[in-house]
Structure 1
Amino acid sequence: MRHPLLEQNQGAITDVTGITVGHHSDGRRPTGCTVVIARDGAVAGVDVRGAAPGTRETDLLAPGNLVQQVHAVMLAGGSAWGLDAASGAVRWLEEQGVGLDVGVGRLPLVPAAVLFDLHLGDMKVRPDAAAGYAACQAASGAPPAEGNVGAGSGAVVGKMFGMQHAMKGGLGTASVSVAGVTVGALIACNAVGDVVHPDTGLPLAGARTQDGRQLRDTRRALLAGEPPHALLAGSNTTIGVIATDARLTKVQAQRLAVAGHDGLARAINPVHTMSDGDTLFTLATGVHAQHPGMMVLATMAAEAVARASVRAVLAARSLTTDQGLLLPCHADLARADSRSQPG
C-alpha cells in the first residue's frame, strides 16, 4: 500500500536550474553520502537548530563574512568521520575547474553536515573522500533517487524508546514553484522523533508500540508520562539542502534556511532536540532576478522541506542488520494495517 503523498508528483531539488545531485551508497553496510552541486556557484546560507551538530565550513556562510558563493554541499552518514566526504567533492570540483579564483588556482568551497548511522553494521565503514568523489561523479540533473540511498542509507527514525522500536528513515526530495520561481529541498531524515503528516500531525513513521505493529505516537507518549530511552548525544540528526533559482543576498539565503526549519517542525515531532544535530543549508543559483518576495519564498521553503521530510520515510525500505535488528518502513506498517481492516 503506497501513501498518497508518495503517489503525487512532489518534484525534486533538481527542478532548480543550476543544481545537480549525486549519491554514493556503500554496499558494505548502510551508509553513504549525497552531494548537491552548484557548478556555477550559489549564494549560500545555513541554520543549525539541533544541539549536537556535525558540520564543516559553516562559519564562512555567516552573512558578515567575505565569501559570497559556494559550489556544493555534502551530506553524509558516518558521524564526524563522514565529514571527510567533502574533501572528495573538493578534489572532483577542482578537477572540473570549479571554485573560487584565488589567483594560483580555483578553490572549491564545500560546506557539509553529517548524521549518525554508526549503529548499523561495522562502524569502521563510513563515507570518506573517495565516497564523496564518487557521489560527484554520479551527479546529474535528473530527479535523485530517494529512500535508502546516499546520506539516507543508514537513517533511522523514532528512536525515543529504543532502537528495537524504531523504523527506517531515509532521504527525500520535493520542490514548489510560484510565479516562475522554484524552491526545492533534499532531506536526510535520521530523527529521534516521529515523522508526521504536515497537515494532520498524525505519525507516518517513528517509534512503534511494544508489539511492533503500530505507531506509538511519541509526542502523546511523552506527554502521558512515558519515559524516553537513554539517548546517546548526537546519534540523531536531520540534515538537508534548500535550493532556489531566485537571486538572493547572503542575508536572505540565511533567512531561507531559518524558514526551512519550520518545515522540519511540521513534519518531525519532537524536533531540534538535545540529541539531534538538525542543520539546513540554502543554495541560491540566482537565475531569476525577480522573485515573489521573501515572505513567499520562506513559505515555499518550509513547504518543500516538510514534503521532502515525509518522502524520506515514505520512500524508505525496511532493513535487517547483521545483528538481527529489524527496522520496518512505513509501507510495512501500512500493509499490516490494511490486512487488519475488516472486509
Structure 2
Amino acid sequence: MKKIPFAEIEGVQVGNAQNDKAKTGVTVLCFPAGAKTGVDISGGGPASRETPVLDPTREDLGIHAIVLAGGSAYGLAAADGVMRCLEENGIGFDTGFARIPLVVQSDIYDLSYGSASVRPDSDMGYTACKNALRQNSPLSGSVGAGTGATVGKFCGMKQSQKSGIGYYAVQVGELKIGAVVVVNALGDIYAKEKKIAGLTNAQRTDFLDSVQELYRLAAPKDLLSRTNTTIGVVVTNGAFDKAQLTRIAQQTRNAYARSIKPVGTLADGDTIYASACGSLVQADVNMAGTLAAEVMERAIEKAVLSAKMDEAEYLANCLTY
C-alpha cells in the first residue's frame, strides 16, 4: 500500500468556494463521466439532498456531483448552482428535452461560527463547481465546506476547537481509494487513540473528555441546538455496483467510530458516500471497505491538523446565545 495524491484518482475533480468572513463554504466533487454511488447515513439529523436516488433498489444510473457544504439546510441551495454549471458544460443525462445532472448533497451545521445569516447559495455552488472543472488539486484545512467546521461542542462554542476538511488516498496494486471528510463533530477527535482536538476546559488550557461529560451531565443543556455533522466521501477506481458501494460506505463508518467520540448522536447528521469512477479494476468488496475505513481515519486526522488557527481569531468567531 502506498500513499498517493487524491488528485491521482481518475474520474473525480474537486473544487471549493467560500466566504472567509462569514466562515462558510462549498466543496464539489465532480464526476464528468458519472459515478455509481452508495450512501450510509448514521447520524440523527442529516441535512441532505437527493440521497434516496442512491438506494440500491433504485435505478443505477450514477451521479455527476457530490456537494458538501455549510449552512445546514439553507446551504442545500448550493446544488442549484452546481446543476447549472454542469448543464452549461454538457454534463448530465440527455433526456431529449434537457440535460439533467444528478447531484446529491450533504451539509454541516456551521451557523454558530462566523455568521448565522450568511449561508452557501446557488452562486457559491456554481463557483465551486466551476473550480472543480478546472481540475484544481484539493486542499485540506479551513477551506470549502470545512471553512466553518468545529469540534468538541458539548459545552458550547467557547470550549470547542477548529476543524476543517481533509483528504487522504492510497493505492494497492491497481486499486485506488481516497477519502475526503468535513469534520464538524459534537465529540472529540482521536488519532490512534490519542486525542488531537475537541472539548477543552473553560480556560482552554487542557482537554476534557466529551464522553465522560455526557455521562456526568446525562442531559446537557441545549445539546440538540448545537447541531453537528461529519460528512465524508470515499472515491475509488474499483468496479463496484451501487449495492457494493453502499456496503463500502457502511464499513467506512468504522472510521467515525474509531476517530470520533461520541459519534452518531441525535445531535449529529453523520453521512458517508462511496463512489466508483472506474469499471475495470476488480477488487474484493470486503477488502475495499476495510481499506476505506483506514483511509477515512487518516482523512479525519488531516482535517483537524490542517485547520489550526490563532486562538484569539477562533474565539472571536464563536457565536454564543
TM-score by length of 1: 0.87
Deviation at residue 221 of structure 1 after TM alignment: 4.0
Aligned-partner SS, 2:298: helix
Structure 1: runs of 5 or more not aligned: 1-8, 328-343
Matching residue within 307, 312, 320 for 2:298: 307
1:255 corresponds to which residue?
247
Note closer, same or farther for the CA distance 1:210–1:322 as it changes in structure 2 (3 Å cut). closer
Aligned-partner SS, 1:111: strand
Deviation at residue 101 of structure 1 after TM alignment: 2.1
2:280 corresponds to which residue?
288
Q: Distance in 2 between matches of 1:135 and 1:233?
A: 29
1:310-329 to structure 2, matched below 5 A, reads 310-318=301-309, 320=312, 324-325=316-317
Cα deviation 1:194-220 (Å, max 9, x = unaligned): 1101x2x22100001232112213234
State the Cα RMSD in Å. 2.0
Cα deviation 1:275-324 (Å, max 9, x = unaligned): 00001111101243322x01110011101111111111100032656983
Note closer, same or farther for the CA distance 1:249–1:23 as it changes in structure 2 (3 Å cut). same
Matching residue within 42, 57, 61 for 1:49: 42
2:188 corresponds to which residue?
194
Structure 2: runs of 5 or more not aligned: none
Aligned-partner SS, 2:118: coil
With 59-68 and 109-118 compared, the bigger mean Cα shift is at 59-68
TM-score by length of 2: 0.92
Aligned-partner SS, 2:45: coil
1:341 corresponds to which residue?
none
Aligned-partner SS, 2:269: coil
Deviation at residue 35 of structure 1 after TM alignment: 0.3
Q: Distance in 1 between matches of 2:23 and 2:161?
A: 14
1:138-287 to structure 2, matched below 5 A, reads 138-139=131-132, 140-197=134-191, 199=192, 201-223=193-215, 225-226=216-217, 228-233=220-225, 235-287=227-279
Provide the identity percentage. Answer: 39
Q: Distance in 2 between matches of 1:46 and 1:56?
A: 12
1:79 corresponds to which residue?
72
Q: Distance in 1 between matches of 2:180 and 2:247?
A: 17
With 225-234 and 11-20 compared, the bigger mean Cα shift is at 225-234
Q: Distance in 2 between matches of 1:322 and 1:239?
A: 22
Q: Quick one: which amino acid aligns to residue 249 of structure 2?
A: A
Q: Quick one: which amino acid aligns to residue 100 of structure 1?
A: F
With 82-91 and 234-243 compared, the bigger mean Cα shift is at 234-243
With 304-313 and 226-235 compared, the bigger mean Cα shift is at 226-235
Q: Quick one: which amino acid aligns to residue 195 of structure 2?
A: P
Aligned length: 315
